[in-house]
Amino acid sequence: MQLISAGQLTDHGCHVILDSDSCCIQDRTGLLVGTGPRRRDSQRLWELDWIRLPSAASASLVGSVASTSSTSSFA
């Protein structure tokens, strides 16, 4: 599993909306760019089913995730 923080997403201009059972990510224009459920086995993790970021933000996030993870790149 790849981990990404809400701070990383907001630093790239996204809005992170966490609900009791789901999350969604919106870009600066309000366009939905990612969604996912809250993990049932954790009180602190939401798992994105999908995320589509602009290429510049995605490349930057991939670099920061790859430097902290031993699994394949996030994209």
17 band by pLDDT with thresholds 50, 70 and 90 = very high
Nearest-angstrom CA–CA distance, 9 and 61: 8
Helices (H), 1-75: 6-11, 55-66
Q: Is the pLDDT of residue 68 over 50?
A: no
Query: What is the CA angle 61-63-67, rounded to 5?
Result: 120
pTM given for the model = 0.69
